[in-house]
Amino acid sequence: MSKKNSMRSDRSLLNEPEQWTTGDEPMTTAQDSYVHTLAREAGEEVPNELTKAEASEKINELQQKTGRRPRSTRQGNTSQKRK
C-alpha cells in the first residue's frame, strides 16, 4: 500500500467516533447544545452525560430523524445567486 493510500485509510478511521482518541471524553458544549436541540425537534430525550463519540453518533441519528443534513454535506451544495 502506498504512503498516500495508507494516510487516506488512517484518516477514514479517525472519522469513526469509536476510533477517536478523545471519544471517551465528555461531549463538548457545542455537542451538548446541538444534540439537545435535535432531540427536542425529534421528540426524544437524550442523557445529559454522553461522551464525544456517543454524542456524535446520536447527532447523526437525530439528523436523519429530523431531516437535517450534516454540516459537511451542506458545504458542498451550491445555491442560486439572488437576482
Is pTM, for the whole model, over 0.75? no
In tens, the pLDDT along 7-54 reads: 555 555 557 887 888 999 999 999 999 999 999 999 999 999 999 999
- The reply to whether 40 falls in a domain is yes
What span, in angstroms and rounded, lies between the C-alpha atoms of 54 and 35?
A: 10
Euclidean distance between CA atoms 78 and 68, whole angstroms: 17
Alpha-carbon gap, residue 56 to 75, rounded angstroms: 18
As a three-state string, the secondary structure of 53-70 is HHHHHHHHHHHHHHCCCC
75 falls within a domain: no
More confident residue, 2 or 78: 2
Evaluate whether residue 5 is within a structural domain: no
Count of domains in the chain? 1
Spatial distance between the Cα atoms of 14 and 80, rounded to a whole number of angstroms: 34
Q: Which domain holds residue 56?
A: 24-65
pLDDT reported for residue 12: 54
